[in-house]
Amino acid sequence: MALKRDKYDIVFSQLVRERTDYECDYCGRHFRHEPSKLHCSHFKSRRHKATRYHPLNAFSHCAGCHRKLGEDPHEFNAHAVITYSEMTIDSVARLAGTAVKLKPWQMDDLYQHMKSELKRLQELRSEGVTGRIEFTLPDWYQHGITYQMGDI
């Protein structure tokens, strides 16, 4: 059953799609002019609070890719590893399994932080910046999980 989207999910979804400049992370098509066809897709389900708003647990996926990857966890896993690296995905998966209860002040902090990151990204877009722009959430939430790409 689908979880209801709240205001936190809505701003997070905007942030995730703005990050890729409204490009699907999987097929690379652009959706700036039809943003509702691009979804914020979670690797570990939104029911896991610890990773529900984690930048590295989320992707921009068009409706078609979202469905395809939802039906093919093996392919989703491979895609997540290619996008964020195996170590990162392992950390995210571990974090998803952690039970957390977010307090009201923490939800407020997340919300304010997401809003200000969204504003920052939108300002960069209005200045003509294209392509991917990373965003972060507060350290206490992100638990220090950032890219762990190792040597390339």
Contacting residues toward Zn ion, per CB under 5 A: 24, 26-27, 62, 65
Question: Residue 81 has which token pair?
Answer: 């590893």
Question: Please, which residue, 21 or 117, has the CB nearer to Zn ion?
Answer: 21
Question: Residue 50 has which token pair?
Answer: 């610890």
Cβ at position 97, least distance to Zn ion in Å: 28
Question: Please, which residue, 30 or 119, has the CB nearer to Zn ion?
Answer: 30
Question: Please, which residue, 16 or 65, has the CB nearer to Zn ion?
Answer: 65
> What residues pair up with 41 in beta bridges, in sequence order?
59
Cβ at position 33, least distance to Zn ion in Å: 15
Question: Please, which residue, 27 or 82, has the CB nearer to Zn ion?
Answer: 27
Cβ at position 73, least distance to Zn ion in Å: 17
Cβ at position 131, least distance to Zn ion in Å: 17
